[in-house]
Chain A
Amino acid sequence: MELLAPEPVSAGHIYAVTGAILTALGFYAFIVRRHALRQLLAVNVVGAGVFLILGGLGRGPDAIDPMPQALVITGIVVAVALTAFGAAMIVRLAEAPRSPDQGKAGKPDA
């Protein structure tokens, strides 16, 4: 209702629409792909979409609202840190002596 404003597509909508498409693509890949690294990439695509939507929100017709952009910076920092953390875990798992996809119950000692 509010989202589908009757006005013609403005420059601000491009960010939101692109962000929505990226989010959907990333979510699809997250569900379809099983490999951990691909899932991490998929989550990052979702993140890019969300940040694009959030960043584009500040763009008003006459003035720019800084609040969404302050929020998006925090979000990006958190996402970067978490991606590094996730990548480190994937590397650890790949280096572990046991095969990576068999350790679901997690018995540390054989």
Chain B
Amino acid sequence: MNLLGLLVAVPLGFMVAALLLRGSGRWLILAAAPVMAGLALWLALLPPGTTLLVGNWDLPLGILLRADGVARLMVLAGALVIGAIGLHALVDPPGGKDGGAATAETFWPLLYLMWAGANAGFLTTDLFNLYVTLEMVSLAAVALAAMGSLAAALRYFMIAMLGSLAYLLGVALLVANYNTVDVTLLAQVARLDLATVMALGLMTAALLIKAALFPMHGWLPPAHAAAPAPASALLSAIAVKLGFVILLRLWFEAFPAITGSAALHVLGGLGAAAVIYGSIQAMRQDRLKPLVAYSTVAQVGYLFLAFPLVAGAVEPSSAWAGMTLHGVAHMLAKAAMFLAAGLMLKAAAGDRIADLGGLAQAMPLTVTAFGLAAVSLMGLPPSGGFTAKFLLLSAAIEQGAFLYAGVLVVGGLLAAVYLFRALSACFAPLAGAGPDTASRGPVTGGVKAVAPLALAGLAIVMGFAGTALVDVSAIEVPWATPTVIQPEVAP
């Protein structure tokens, strides 16, 4: 088993260990975070063309793990984000007031399950294996959402399960049509016929549900807003990204010849609508966590707005890099923002934005983390969000796609409106109650602010590492030369 297998096997091992150790399983994150960060960094530095055929089964039947640019960036960012969320959950356990011990204990196996599922999903090119990883991540996500609100989690579960079955039906049609479900093989034999179009439509609809693209986003805000802060961070940062990455595999690797420009503009239009709708909804929220959750709906929109820009570009690398980097920047910034919001809400008098008054003095580090994450989400320079949006915007202008360019600009402005509203509330004087801060509960110490601050800082630092990340994202892009492994295609 080489490195690619370890990236999946190690979190699964930690999951089993966390289940066996029960209460003391939380300390495992002290080993898991550095080990996984090291493995992910190693993956990012591997020479191009690194692959693993699981169990040495050859391709039409076997499962291929492959380290392309998207997988490298997503696995690395995922390792940093999940590791930081885990360390944060160690100092600030995610339990409610009711039965806090039980929920804190169940959090850890779910974290590792999501880690293993996400890594497997980012690395594999086998559409059926991707179904299994989707289920792993969805299962962990639903259980994490259930830590906050059972009703919201159940709604999420139902729509996710229906989506999974639609995806499976699509896989079934592809098996019948092509006798393989490997993306790299499908790319060589894909042809335009009814079965392929139906399969692609079913799988796309299913993945849009998982990625929560407008108008399939309905399950996201209640589930993400109600969960405890570390669970929300995992849901918003990791769970929605897997659906997006699988859509990349389908649309740009397996069937680039079939996805016409009209279909791409449907996805791009939905993305643009998501940016506007999610931002407006976020502006209308008067509670902090729903605001951050609706911001996820808006930010997912950018990922899909990029689809027609990548497909329409003469030289697609820069739009592709913009799309990938936006996913990474959103992972870092949104995880930081949810963790910071969790700390702020614990210190504040209530969960409304108006209740945040005085927090800037009470917990300056946490509010700084929230602010830095907001800078990246708005796309202000220098930050990862700015680099990504700049690449997308220049691609849009180059192609004369001024509608998309306009949405990119307006979306940034709307994000500034709703995020500055939350930030300015923190700087407002404490409402009522006079100048004493005793009534607002214990002020969190500096240690708890480290994880959100580190993640938000990384999102900013991404703005300085732009060209290096663009180079990584260009490894084994779909339109480059075919991959090294070229087994015979089954008849």
Contact = CB atoms under 8 A, between A and B. Distances in A.
B97 A71 contact: no
A89 B146 CA distance: 8
Contact of B151 (A74, A86, A104): A104
Contacts of A27: 162
Chain A contact residues, majority secondary structure? helix
Q: How many residues of B sit at the interface, in one of the four size bands?
A: 35 or more
Nearest to A78: B135
A105 B169 contact: no
Contacts of B436: none
B151 A71 contact: no
B161 A43 contact: yes
Nearest to B146: A89
Nearest to B150: A93
A7 interface: no
A47 B158 CA distance: 12
B158 A96 contact: no
Contacts of A53: 169, 172
B222 interface: yes
B226 interface: yes
Interface in B405-454: none
Given A1-B194, A46-B165, A53-B172, A82 B154 contact: no
A57 B11 CA distance: 35
B176 A57 contact: yes
B73 interface: no
B195 interface: yes
B128 A103 contact: no
Interface in B140-157: 142-143, 146, 148-154, 157
A108 B169 CA distance: 38
B195 A106 contact: no
A62 interface: no
Contacts of B176: 57, 68
B426 to A, nearest CB: 22
Given A86-B158, A103-B149, A103-B151, A47 B165 contact: yes
Contacts of A90: 154
B148 A67 contact: no
B222 A3 contact: no
Interface in A69-110: 71, 74-75, 78-79, 81-82, 85-86, 89-90, 92-93, 96, 100-101, 103-106, 108-109
Given A50-B165, A78-B135, A101-B151, 14 more contacts: A4-B194, A36-B154, A36-B158, A54-B172, A65-B179, A71-B172, A74-B128, A78-B132, A78-B164, A86-B161, A89-B154, A92-B146, A103-B151, A109-B98
Interface of B: 61, 96-98, 128, 131-132, 135, 139, 142-143, 146, 148-154, 157-158, 161-162, 164-165, 168-169, 171-172, 175-177, 179, 193-195, 198, 222, 225-226
